[in-house]
């Protein structure tokens, strides 16, 4: 059965291009040219994924996200010309799973779509997540590499477990700092950088070209499960 994707964008050419590319990849596409129609489409279609522009004629895309998150957890990829880090952070904090800046590569977007549609690495059905030779046992709070336990500090475990539970999704620095260190440390980004650096060392992730713990500059981090 084809996966259902709702595309909300006021540019007809963008919608046409996305429909051709996504339909060719086997997805069933529904289009909307404004926020209200988009929300109605999501409510009717119950899609597997939403692609959302921020610059809509009737309401800002961030408001669409905010309203959507009151009743749906459907994954959302923001597709926007807005490239400021602050815009990306707000969209992600409002509940977007990913953010792609226009102009964009169709191949990259399709890869992001695949990543967001993939089963959530068994997180909903199993407390044990297996990624290559890494094992994350969320019940026992254990991380192993090739069946050898990796010794992590409580902060290191908290950070990596939050990222692994949301594979391929950007988690903002502010969200991680708030949830792991608390509101009094929301600007202490150096704490987070140190923890990520230590995690890369312990997981065997190349610090100059990481495979798993990737940095989205000025925004946050994502735990990648595919190239």
CATH 3.20.20.70 fits 4-117, yes or no: no
3-state secondary structure of 51: strand
- Compute the distance between CA of residue 201 and CA of residue 218 in angstroms, rounded to an integer: 22
Count other Cβ atoms within 10 Å, centred on residue 100: 17
Q: Residue 38: which of 12, 14, 10 has the closest Cα? A: 10
Tokens for 168, please give them.
Answer: 């391929």
CA 10 from centroid of its chain's CA atoms:
23
- Fold adopted by 128-223: Arc Repressor Mutant, subunit A (1.10.10)
Q: Residue 143: which of 168, 154, 221, 119 has the closest Cα? A: 154
Tokens for 92, please give them.
Answer: 């992600």
* Residue 160 · residue 223 · CB < 8 Å: yes
Q: Residue 43: which of 27, 56, 30 has the closest Cα? A: 30
Question: pLDDT digit of tens for each residue in the chain (227 aa)?
Answer: 578 899 999 999 999 999 999 999 999 999 999 999 999 888 888 888 999 999 999 999 999 998 888 888 789 999 999 989 889 999 998 889 999 998 889 999 999 998 888 754 344 456 788 888 999 988 788 899 998 999 999 899 989 988 998 888 888 888 888 888 877 787 889 999 999 999 999 999 998 999 999 999 889 999 998 65
Where do the domains of the chain lie?
A: 4-117, 128-223
pLDDT on residue 1: 55
């Amino acid at each position: 059965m084809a996966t259902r994707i709702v595309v909300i964008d006021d540019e007809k050419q963008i919608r046409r291009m996305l429909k051709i590319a996504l339909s060719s990849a086997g997805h069933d596409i529904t289009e909307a040219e404004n926020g209200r129609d988009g929300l109605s489409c999501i409510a009717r279609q119950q899609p597997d994924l939403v692609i959302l522009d921020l610059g809509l004629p009737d309401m800002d895309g961030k408001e669409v996200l905010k309203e959507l998150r009151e009743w749906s957890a459907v994954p959302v990829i923001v597709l926007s010309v807005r490239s400021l880090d602050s815009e990306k952070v707000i969209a992600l904090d409002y509940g977007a799973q990913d953010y792609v800046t226009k102009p964009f590569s169709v191949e990259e977007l399709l890869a992001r779509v695949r990543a967001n549609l993939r089963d959530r690495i068994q997180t909903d059905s199993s407390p044990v997540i297996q990624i290559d030779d890494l094992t994350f046992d969320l019940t026992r709070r254990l991380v192993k590499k090739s069946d050898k336990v990796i010794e992590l500090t409580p902060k290191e475990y908290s950070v990596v477990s939050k990222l692994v539970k949301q594979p391929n999704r950007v988690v903002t620095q502010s969200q991680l700092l708030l949830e792991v260190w608390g509101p009094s440390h929301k600007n202490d980004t150096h704490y987070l950088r140190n923890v990520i650096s230590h995690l890369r060392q312990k997981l065997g992730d190349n610090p100059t070209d990481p495979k798993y713990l990737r940095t989205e500059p000025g925004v946050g981090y994502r735990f990648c499960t595919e190239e």
